[in-house]
Structure 1
Amino acid sequence: MSKTRRATHAGSWYTNDGRELSNQLEEWLSKATPSYSPARAIIAPHAGYYYCGACGGHAYGQIDPTNVKRVFVLGPSHHVRLSGCALTETSTYQTPLYDLIIDQKINEELNATNAFEKMKIGTDEDEHSIEMQLPYIAKVMERKRGQFTVVPVLVGSLSSDKEKLYGSIFSQYLADPTNLFVISSDFCHWGQRFRYTFYDKSCGEIWQSIEALDKMGMNAIEQMDPVKFSQYLKDYENTICGRYPIVVLLNAIDVLRRNGNGHRMSFKFTNYAQSSRCKKTSDSSVSYAAGALLMQ
């Protein structure tokens, strides 16, 4: 078993030159207004940085690393069928900036619930949804290098019962102010190549219809309502690839609200973008959104 997960998408999805990457991330972060800081959780996109790096900066710009000791990264499984969640078996994750240390203690705690599978190294290294968050995490946590750990979680296609189960498990960690949650998700994948061509002509052009559709879902997330978001997904079948990690977060928030633990919580999206503006049915695009959860 390999103890290190290689940065397999470096050099293709983003530059593998550490200095160039650091400068890129710094530039994107400098354009973000930290209006929702310090975030306890963020939603950030996971496409190639050429497409979504700028949008991601608006999510990561809400992070204050001062009190963060642990970063949970929940990403959807793109290549392997999973009905639950899976944890890494490695001890470090490589990035072109520096290696991130896996939190073995938390992995043991999660494994003890018997609710988690283990990722094979091939599955781990094939999956981009987690990897695309790692350089940004390394960058925003730079001054805490060696003083924080990461908990990567691969999230499968969950039943509503499992969405609630994982929400309940993660709620205790979300309540801890030394933990940060990164939820990895792109939004609408539109076009014939994605087999999704919903178009409400009353919105204007196709790209405007896509934006209106995405913002309906973003509104449900901002209301922190897992039932409303799940119903929206059923009604419109929007191709949000991180839908399950998002619903797990919403269920974790819901548990804390129901427990009446005194936290005041609010969620806000700070940026929205599309890879291109679709104007005809032969076009295609992927949408990206940056959002942050505040807990006081």
Structure 2
Amino acid sequence: MKRNPAVAGTFYEAEADTLKKRIEWCFHHKLGPGKIPEIGDERRLKAAIAPHAGYIYSGPVAAHTYQAIAADGFPETFIILCPNHTGMGSGISMMPEGEWITPLGSVKIDEELATELLEASEIIDIDESAHLGEHSCEVHLPFLQYFNQDFKIVPICMWMQDLETAKEIGNAITNASKGKDVLIIASTDFTHYEPAEVAYKNDQKVLEAIISLDENRMYERIYQYNVSMCGYGPVAASIIAARGLGATRGRLLKYATSGDMTGDNSSVVGYASAILE
């Protein structure tokens, strides 16, 4: 199956040339990393966290994640964990075969790894419907394709985001990924539609738990401070999987809000880029 882009022309540009220019704008923006990195070959990273709003809002923050990924070197496969915004599909939905199309080309699904993940967990379902209109996996692909066309993905969409579910998904990823060249991307935005000072204060408390690789404390702080983070399940699963694959620390690369882009700080969305290594 070919999964055609759902948000090209809205979240990012629909034409290849203008999309590449937008990605370069993200890197050179004052909130971005300031330069476009060269591709490295260390491959130390186990997981990364990136936002998924429209590029004009969260693209410069997301560019910090992709700078780190590019500088570290591309894996063979990205497992992309995203929340379910559409309500379509099952609790945990995987698209196990086919390819995803963007204006920059196509990306194939790693069917072998997808099969092993399905065997490693009883709660992951084969369900393409959750992915057809979902933006929070798709928006990461053009950033990756800008640097490299030779990689595969396994997209997993999480409607169920409780801690027990995240633990099962994280452990399944660990078991299926050992001995393979894999990097996990957790797709999330942080506080939604609060004043900027509230978003910053509460999001920092959650981010402290994330970079400490402490998924339990992350959930505690989300509940304690009522943080409207949309992809907490994907982040928790990524922490668990990354730790199982040898990660010992996290690093926050950049935090900003939509208010930093628009100038309106009365009601913002928080964005963060981080890596687990």
TM-score by length of 2: 0.86
Residue 227 of structure 1 corresponds to 216
Match among 117, 123, 133 for residue 115 of structure 1: 123
Residue 165 of structure 1 corresponds to 168
Deviation at 1:166, TM superposition (A): 1.2
Deviation at 1:173, TM superposition (A): 5.0
Residue 240 of structure 2 corresponds to 251
**Comparing 90-99 and 165-174, the one that deviates more:** 165-174
Residue 276 of structure 2 corresponds to 293
CA distance in 2, matches of 1:188, 1:176: 36
Deviation at 1:80, TM superposition (A): 1.7
Deviation at 1:37, TM superposition (A): 7.7
Q: Which runs of 5+ in 2 are unaligned?
A: none
Residue 141 of structure 2 corresponds to 134
Match among 16, 28, 47 for residue 26 of structure 2: 28
1:154 aligns with 2:157: yes
- Give identity over the alignment, percent: 25
Deviation at 1:60, TM superposition (A): 0.7
Q: Which runs of 5+ in 1 are unaligned?
A: 192-205, 257-262
CA distance in 2, matches of 1:48, 1:293: 24
3-state DSSP class of the match of 2:10?
A: coil
1:190 aligns with 2:190: no
Residue 78 of structure 2 corresponds to 71
State how 1:4-19 maps to structure 2 within 5 Å.
Answer: 4-19=2-17
3-state DSSP class of the match of 1:112?
A: helix
Match among 81, 87, 93 for residue 86 of structure 1: 93
Residue 56 of structure 2 corresponds to 50
Deviation at 1:174, TM superposition (A): 5.6
C-alpha change, 1:89 and 1:169, in structure 2 (3 Å) is closer
Structure 1 runs of 4+ aligned residues shifted over 6 Å read: 277-281
1:60 aligns with 2:58: no
C-alpha change, 1:212 and 1:175, in structure 2 (3 Å) is farther
Deviation at 1:81, TM superposition (A): 6.4
C-alpha change, 1:66 and 1:37, in structure 2 (3 Å) is closer
CA distances 1:113-165 after superposition (whole Å, capped 9, x unpaired):
333112234x322111111111112123x2xx2x3211111112233322211
Contact 1:42 1:293 in 2 (8 A): yes
Deviation at 1:39, TM superposition (A): 2.9
Contact 1:40 1:174 in 2 (8 A): no
CA distance in 1, matches of 2:43, 2:63: 13
What is the identity, as a one-letter code, of the residue corresponding to 1:251? I
Contact 1:83 1:158 in 2 (8 A): no
- Max Rg structure: 1
Residue 237 of structure 1 corresponds to 226
Deviation at 1:255, TM superposition (A): 4.0
Deviation at 1:280, TM superposition (A): 9.9
3-state DSSP class of the match of 1:224?
A: coil
What is the identity, as a one-letter code, of the residue corresponding to 1:112? E
**Comparing 171-180 and 223-232, the one that deviates more:** 171-180
Residue 208 of structure 1 corresponds to 197
